[in-house]
Amino acid sequence: MTPGVAHSQTGTSTPRPEFEVATIKPSKSVGVSLQLSPGGLFETTGTSLSDLIKLAYDLHPRQIIGGPSWLETEKYDVTGKPDKPGKPDLRHLKVLVQNLLADRFQLTLRHDKMDLPVYAITVAKSGPRLTTNDSDPNGLPTFSVGPRELRFRNATMAEFASILQGVGRIFDRPLADQTGLGSARYDFILKWTPDAPPSQTGRAEPVVDNAEAPPGLFTAFQEQLGLKLESTKAPVEVLVIEHVERPSEN
């Protein structure tokens, strides 16, 4: 059984999923990017180990417990060629990254659950305002995140919540999909005005540049997507880091 990825064991008769070739190098990039080419090549730039764990296990940073100080500060460029031809589906890609982290970072994890503050995504009374995408029900979602805009294609609500909670530190807590929309896939664009730092009243208000500026994030969710963000507390999965090392040489 491979340390840290016991849940992804595929049985004695099936080869363990792993990248055929993988490189991990210290990064000089000032930005962060992750992409999967049509041919299946997985590439990241400027990603920390924390970023890679979030990707592999669908986690918000608050769901990662323990670990050294360099978990978020040291950045890496990662390239991985999948173990079989073609573009891997999202589930297989995550297992490939999980096993890469176990092999190259000697990462071992313990699963647990904790009650944490979350934002629950629910459907507003007006109903969802999303465009259904039936083009590739087994495909990966694609997305881009800007300082004031999100663009998603072919994403389920669970994938939307998972990706959104891990990019750009937009939210200070995990997201929980409670929409009940299941496996349906959607295309949508969300535009909002980021909040200013908390004022003397303790409240963070949207920074409005002009009269045509979009609303704050919570209002934009409801007006543009027909969804609501509700602050609550819920039991969520956490991963406790028991052991990790800097990556081995290529």
How many whole angstroms separate alpha carbon 145 and alpha carbon 90? 19
How many whole angstroms separate alpha carbon 154 and alpha carbon 177? 16
Asked whether residue 249 is domain-assigned, the answer is no
Q: What secondary structure does DSSP assign to 192-242, as a single string?
A: -PPBPSP-TTS---B---STT----HHHHIIIIISEEEEEEEEEEEEEEEE
Asked whether residue 1 is domain-assigned, the answer is no
Q: Are residues 13 and 102 in the same domain?
A: yes
> What stretches of 105-215 show up as alpha helix (H) in DSSP?
157-166
Q: Are residues 221 and 118 in the same domain?
A: yes
Compute the average pLDDT of residues 184-198.
81
Q: Are residues 122 and 145 in the same domain?
A: yes
Q: Is the dihedral of CA 70, 73, 74, 78 positive or negative?
A: positive
Compute the average pLDDT of residues 70-76.
95
The predicted pLDDT at position 50 comes to 92
Out of 23-27, 66-70, 104-108, 211-215, which region has the weakest mean confidence (pLDDT)? 211-215
The predicted pLDDT at position 54 comes to 87
Q: Are residues 88 and 132 in the same domain?
A: no
Q: Are residues 32 and 69 in the same domain?
A: yes
Asked whether residue 181 is domain-assigned, the answer is yes
How many domains does the chain divide into? 2
Q: Are residues 17 and 89 in the same domain?
A: yes
Burial 49-75 (b: 16+ CB within 10 A, else e): bbbbbbbbbbbbbbbbeebeeebeeeb
- The pTM (predicted TM-score) of the whole model is 0.69
Compute the average pLDDT of residues 89-108.
93
Are 101 and 241 in contact by the 8 Å Cβ rule? The answer is: no
Per residue in 108-124, pLDDT tens? Answer: 999 999 999 999 999 99
Q: Which residue has the tokens 């090392």?
A: 245
- CA proximity to 193, closest of 226, 227, 148, 150: 148
Out of 40-49, 139-148, 155-164, which region has the weakest mean confidence (pLDDT)? 139-148
Q: Are residues 13 and 61 in the same domain?
A: yes
Q: Are residues 164 and 61 in the same domain?
A: no
How many whole angstroms separate alpha carbon 230 and alpha carbon 151? 22
Domain span at 193: 114-235
Token representation of residue 14: 């099936």
